[in-house]
Structure 1
């Protein structure tokens, strides 16, 4: 890819300046109750663009971390304090509420502390685990610690995935982000398989 092509690919990001990181943080936060929001594309893309020098690496990780942690806390509080009635006041909120309940149903029994860290790497797992933590009334201290650490690890992993794919492939940042999302999805499927096997094994032992 030529310098001109790279410049054209990232010009819109540079025109946003610091707003790009704010937008990323907001999308990651909203992704907690609404998993279809394409926040991963921005997070992984920021890693690919940091490899090109279009955005700074540290602010990219910080934006993803703060957005992830804020989204976790918001969704946990929504179910901890039984505020889901606020969602049900609007049709779009009802759809979000139903989607969260479907994910909770698929996730099975309420997750333990470790799941607050692990399930965020699985599609829909972050939403289900945070809502389940709120319903189960997991104390604020352990929740904030595990959610904060999990958010840091997830952010470093996702931004690093974008940096790695951008460096390895030399593709435009958006293409590197798509490749990175594919690799991340594959890793999530492996983690989901391991979690499912452990749960089946645990039920069998019981």
Structure 2
């Protein structure tokens, strides 16, 4: 049984409270996969599992370090894949299929909204903003940032994001005492609010001429 099949079976046969039991050993691989897919397809709901893993770790049901590692590797892999697509011009091949054109249009739209930042702001900070990760990785590929620089900034940014997101779940579970899935929803709300604040700060710095282009 594949990870996606396990998720479908879990969703059909049980509620959120029993999801972990149904997924079993697939929980962390599935989390990593969804986080990776979240780079080219931002609507993928990876955050709920990443934040939820923090709440689960608090309850002693999963390993805290495994949760951070799964999120980090998935995030880094997704960054690298999307960067490579745009750096080597492979993104144009997406236009051969209807779903590919939809993904490509979405990425281009996010790129326009987020702006051309490709340095520290793009590869590190913007991943905390909704759609910012997708736009910044695409921008880095188009700008041709050197692989060593990209890998270092992306790896560090991915690790920071993973610790932050898993930590949100841990803190939410500790302060609310809700089930892991409810704590994850609280964490998502807090993360969204923080992302809006970061987006506002980045926009202000750009308008004032202090942001990195």
| TM-score of the aligned structures, taking structure 1 as reference length | 0.92
Asked if 1:152 is matched to 2:159, the reply is yes
| Alpha carbons 1:110, 1:136 under 8 Å: kept | no
Q: Supply the distance in 2 between the matched residues of 1:48 and 1:55 (Cα, whole angstroms).
A: 9
Given candidates 99, 105, 111, the residue that maps to 2:118 is: 111
| Alpha carbons 1:117, 1:146 under 8 Å: kept | yes
| Alpha carbons 1:64, 1:155 under 8 Å: kept | yes
TM-superposition CA deviations, 1:60-114 (whole Å, max 9, x none) = 1000000000000000000000001221121111100000000011112343233
SS of the aligned residue for 1:55 comes to coil
| Alpha carbons 1:14, 1:54 under 8 Å: kept | no
RMSD, matched Cα: 1.5
Q: CA deviation at 1:14?
A: 2.9
Given candidates 10, 16, 31, the residue that maps to 2:23 is: 16
Q: Supply the distance in 2 between the matched residues of 1:110 and 1:185 (Cα, whole angstroms).
A: 21
Asked if 1:85 is matched to 2:87, the reply is no
Aligned to 1:66: 73
- Residue ranges of structure 2 left out of the alignment (5+ in a row): 1-14
Aligned to 2:56: 49
SS of the aligned residue for 1:32 comes to coil
Structure of higher RCO (CA pairs closer than 8 Å, 6+ residues apart): 1
- Residue ranges of structure 1 left out of the alignment (5+ in a row): 1-7
| TM-score of the aligned structures, taking structure 2 as reference length | 0.89
Q: Supply the distance in 2 between the matched residues of 1:182 and 1:11 (Cα, whole angstroms).
A: 22
